[in-house]
Structure 1
């Protein structure tokens, strides 16, 4: 009997709720069971619901501070205007009002009945500028972060290799903090006081990585005009990008990957470069001297050249056949560490001299002295181009371009023992094109 009694009560309650839901279908009130962040809006008109939400969130909308962030003895406040924070009351009420007002009458009835029986919780509609929030966090990170520092190997004035230990860094995890704040902001769990926690930032190179570096395997130096500021600056920037680079056994190193694109915003200056065989001003002129110097250094350390291209014309800073040109997106210089231990690049730029050192382990020293040699296999004299000029007297000749001789050159890596050659490796054979000699002939 008791079970039957409660069953009858349940049936009548359900009928009552469903009847109320039916009544509200054609009314201008919000369905039963609807709440916004635990603020009940059941049976309210849109105007009444809007007023109720305004009262519920008055403290938030009137506050001058949404979040306080703390780290050690530092604090930062984020205000609504800092991130364009807004609670859209009208949008929230409209979402609540539309529940059960489907185009499909049956589905609308089902939705209203479901909310009336089971209840339905809606989030408040909040908008804010995530980019502005992250900008604030990035500015905070400038005051909290302690960047990691790689372990370094440096060459002393006495020629000794000195290792400086790494420093473990700490950084603010900006994306993680932004996600946490997003949760508080979108649920209007505000105002909030948050203690920031930094995460460890390990260095890329540790003392352990450098433990086998104990000697200079090779070095190579080239000269440049220190008075040419733009070209000298380009050499300095490119050389600095190679400094303190480690290459592990079997690893291939790309020159372009280390230097990045030669762009003005990276500090590169306009200086002469060879494009299609012609010397023209361009950003990054002089960088090829760095790649060519590195090429000779790695050859002398008995490392493997993987990708290398010669210039169109011979370069003044290295012997013919021993240059390595580079160009953004087009030409790269790559080498592989084919030794048993890591190698470490060191660069120095001073008083018109660029020096690149390959440091490594004494066990990787070649059993023989390594030497480089380039041999001219063929010379090609320039052709002569005659241009006629009506402004010059008939028969008069003026050489406007003396032209350049072309060369076919073979480069070798030699192994010497007691000054005697015991082996010779052909590296490549290059062809440097001749440049036509141009003569003007008068026809006046």
Structure 2
């Protein structure tokens, strides 16, 4: 019995000596053989271990997660996802190894470290808001709209062009997939994740587009008086519209089709209407393109969704036959209200004419015809406004011609077998006029100037002209004889 107690005492003494040596060496440091995510933290204090892990994670943030989006791949930096780690928990646990519990437990843990070592893995948490922003701002750029089947027309013949599938990333599902992968599946080395996308099928087939062969409506206007820059804009607009295919129920927007108005998109500075005045703007003249198409649409009897008149009259069509576009607040839109696809052909000619033809399947009766009539409803003559200019001498007179304002209506006349069966009002349009402004110089003889200003104040042009004549006569009488 005494021998048993003696052996136990020796064993305990050895354990205490072993533990005592380890504890005395560095009681506040991590024991040798411990790593965290492969980072050797042996002999480190808590702060030293935390700093080592922070440096490791900063380097880790430069690594990438390869995202597959359809047939495209994207290398996303880990730092984009706001990943945080359970550093403090891991360091605290590492510090406790071989230092807590009874003597036997501590001894066993220290011996295990000597033979096997111990590696802690960190739990990761992704910042879901940052993941959401990354997916929304970056991944969705890889979305592709489906390209519907279309047609080309050359030498009077149509050629079928097959469509292409589109894809659209599922944002919410992708966010969940990225967060789950980062928190549960991330490993050292290459990391690859395929994001969920929805495939969109193109619309149209060769059979659908085979119906497009009949001329439904056509219209031509002339831009023969246009400058080179305005002509360039008309040509560019026609090219942007040419080849458009609209399926049943689809809406065409002139602005979306021909914009942006930049040099890169084929436009130049030219005259256009702005607040009742003619000013130079990029793409000036594009309204003639929309006007020409508007009239072709009317003759094809498609549904007009949006149309606005110009602020003032234009010379290339009758009143109420125009269709202005200006930014996004004035657009020309129409819908393919037929049951078949339609094709828009647009072109210009060397003699400066622009034409739009609309092709589809003709379903209207052959004995039925339509025409259009512009009707003047009201005419507003310009007012005359007299103004004085103290910077000009007596005898000066400048006249700015005014412009007549109009109200007009457009009617569609329907005939069957040559007999009118209907007269339908298409639109009512108002065009602003402008005042006739007469400016007189009033610098000079005080009496004559006062008389002229009185005539201007009374807006009496005849009296103002009489005062100008008197001023001119006085000036002539005072002039030295040659």
TM-score bracket, normalised by the shorter chain, equals 0.5 to 0.7
Asked if structure 1 preserves the Cα contact closer than 8 Å seen for 2:64 and 2:78, the reply is no
| Corresponding residue for residue 398 of structure 2 | 398
1:192 and 2:163 aligned: no
Distance 1:86 1:383 in 2: 68
Q: Which of structures 1 and 2 has the bigger CA Rg?
A: 2
Asked if structure 1 preserves the Cα contact closer than 8 Å seen for 2:153 and 2:159, the reply is yes
Deviation at 1:52, TM superposition (A): 9.5
Distance 1:280 1:206 in 2: 46
| Corresponding residue for residue 103 of structure 2 | none
| Corresponding residue for residue 374 of structure 1 | 374
Closer, same or farther in 2 for the Cα pair 1:67/1:205, shift >3 Å?
A: same
Deviation at 1:268, TM superposition (A): 4.7
Alpha-carbon RMSD = 5.5
Specify the SS of the correspondent of 2:288.
Answer: helix
Distance 1:75 1:168 in 2: 14
Matches within 5 A, 1:232-243: 232-243=231-242
Matches within 5 A, 1:13-412: 46=46, 92-97=86-91, 122-124=122-124, 149-157=147-155, 159-167=156-164, 188-192=186-190, 202-224=201-223, 228-260=227-259, 262=261, 268-351=267-350, 352-364=352-364, 367-390=367-390, 394=394, 397-399=397-399, 401-412=400-411
Specify the SS of the correspondent of 1:192.
Answer: coil
Aligned length: 382
Deviation at 1:124, TM superposition (A): 4.8
Distance 1:310 1:395 in 2: 41
Closer, same or farther in 2 for the Cα pair 1:249/1:274, shift >3 Å?
A: same
Distance 2:74 2:332 in 1: 50
Distance 1:348 1:227 in 2: 16
Distance 1:146 1:292 in 2: 32
Unaligned runs of 5+ in 1: 1-26, 100-119
Distance 1:394 1:70 in 2: 80
Q: TM-score, normalised by structure 1?
A: 0.64
Closer, same or farther in 2 for the Cα pair 1:124/1:411, shift >3 Å?
A: closer
Closer, same or farther in 2 for the Cα pair 1:133/1:294, shift >3 Å?
A: closer
Asked if structure 1 preserves the Cα contact closer than 8 Å seen for 2:124 and 2:182, the reply is no
Distance 2:144 2:83 in 1: 40
| Corresponding residue for residue 460 of structure 2 | none
Q: TM-score, normalised by structure 2?
A: 0.60
Please say which of residues 43-52 and 209-218 is displaced more in the overlay: 43-52
Unaligned runs of 5+ in 2: 1-26, 94-119, 445-482
Please say which of residues 372-381 and 261-270 is displaced more in the overlay: 261-270
Closer, same or farther in 2 for the Cα pair 1:190/1:403, shift >3 Å?
A: same
Specify the SS of the correspondent of 1:363.
Answer: coil
Asked if structure 2 preserves the Cα contact closer than 8 Å seen for 1:341 and 1:364, the reply is no
Specify the SS of the correspondent of 2:212.
Answer: coil
Distance 1:360 1:266 in 2: 29
Asked if structure 2 preserves the Cα contact closer than 8 Å seen for 1:371 and 1:414, the reply is yes
